[in-house]
Amino acid sequence: MASEEEHKVDTEKKTATPVLSRLEAFRSTLIRATLALLVGFGVCLAFSERLFKLLAGPIIALLPEGSSLVFMGLPDPFFMYLKLALIGGVFLSLPFILYQVWRFFRPMLPEGEHRFAAPGILLAIALFYIGAAFAYFVVFPAAFKFFLSFETATLKPMIAIREYVSLIMVLMLAFGVVFETPIVVVALGLLGILDSSALKKGRRYFIVLAFVVGAVLTPTPDPINQSLMAGPMILLYEIGIRILIILEKRRKKAEEEFLAG
């Protein structure tokens, strides 16, 4: 009777060990990512004024001569610089954070697919920055020009820095995340959550979702600016499916060779 109880306790311990191990790994990942974000925040805070001048460029270029950005409350510049440093810290620490996320998910993937780690991380980083740059160089000028087109002789723009910084940082983050679509698609496939066939069948729903996201996140209601977000999302979704198909074929071939050998 005692041996049966001991066997039961040992079985429960063995079952609990992997769960506790993953929880510990998650805690370590969260701590490292937070520390990296804090370091990035500190660096960006030291250069917050230069960052603001850089990000104010798209709207300054379109304002009437003699106009400038304003602040409506005394603490607005202070909190604006803090917000700018925080979001800038996210951009700066992103490579390290993505690497930590990869380390957390690595044990869940088959051993043969670990070789895709470095290319996947580098691609994810590049896509995030490309998405942010796309927002800065393409979306901002189009959106700001649309808003400023309502200026009249009796209606002059007076743009507060608090709302402006919040808008541009949210958009840059949003476009950075949207450009991660192929990484998410491939990850869902490699983790066995969805395969390429299911993703193909869900294409029509994703197209609707892309335009809904574009309508919510883009600053103007016109279909042109919505398409500037929805279009890349749909294109990147298709690219992700194509990459996943290639990886699925390689996985199937490796499994067949393993069984044959």
Q: Examine residue 139 and state whether it is found in any structural domain, yes or no.
A: yes
Q: Which of 172, 181, 54 is nearest to 127 (CA)?
A: 181
Q: Which structural domain range is residue 150 located in? A: 2-179
Q: Examine residue 166 and state whether it is found in any structural domain, yes or no.
A: yes
| pTM, to two decimals | 0.76
73-82 confidence digits (pLDDT tens): 888 899 999 9
Number of structural domains found in the chain: 1
Which residues partner with 70 through β-bridges? 160
* Overall average pLDDT of the 184-206 stretch: 87
- The per-residue pLDDT for 9 is 44
Sign of CA pseudo-dihedral 8, 9, 11, 12: positive
Confidence of residue 134 (pLDDT cuts 50, 70, 90): very high
Q: Examine residue 64 and state whether it is found in any structural domain, yes or no.
A: yes
Q: Examine residue 242 and state whether it is found in any structural domain, yes or no.
A: no
pLDDT beyond 60 at 2: no
Non-local (6+) Cβ contacts of 53 within 8 A are none
Do 79 and 35 meet the contact criterion of CB atoms below 8 Å apart? Answer: no
- The per-residue pLDDT for 4 is 54
Q: Examine residue 186 and state whether it is found in any structural domain, yes or no.
A: no
DSSP type of residue 15? H
